């Protein structure tokens, strides 16, 4: 079965005045049709950053490890560059 959402080796970093910080470090997950996924964790553990990464809503100072993938409909969302590409996942 093909996953509706397949995240592989996602690492997310942000540039700050103090240097680059790691917000999410090498997570992987899959979500198939009919499944429900809950993401829980402590404050600052990367839940929102992960969700915003899926929708490509993180700020401009965001960096993704080149090995990471967020696959939706057999396309890597992290490689989207146009507004038209982003509409595929965001709607509108």
Q: For residue range 12-58, what is the model confidence (pLDDT) as tens digits?
A: 999 999 999 999 999 999 999 999 999 999 999 999 999 999 999 99
Question: What's the pLDDT band for 2 if we cut at 50, 70, 90?
Answer: confident
The rounded distance, in Å, linking the Cα atoms of 46 and 43 is 8
37-55-84-79 Cα dihedral, nearest 10 degrees: -100
Q: What residues does 75 pair with on adjacent strands? A: 72
Band (1; pLDDT cuts 50, 70, 90) = low
Domains of the chain: 5-90 (3.40.50.300)
d(CA 13, CA 46): 11
Name 21's bridge partners. 14
Task: Note whether 4 and 63 are within 8 A (CB).
Answer: no
pLDDT digits (tens, 9 = 90+) for 67-84: 999 999 899 999 998 999
């Amino acid at each position: 079965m093909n996953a509706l959402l397949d995240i592989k080796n996602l690492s997310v970093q942000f540039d700050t005045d103090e240097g680059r910080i790691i917000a999410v470090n090498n997570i992987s997950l899959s979500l198939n049709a009919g499944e429900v996924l809950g993401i829980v964790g402590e404050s600052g553990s990367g839940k929102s950053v992960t969700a915003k990464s899926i929708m490509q809503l993180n700020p401009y100072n965001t960096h993704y490890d080149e090995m990471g993938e967020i696959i939706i409909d057999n396309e890597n969302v992290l490689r989207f560059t146009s507004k038209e590409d982003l509409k595929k996942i965001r709607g509108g």
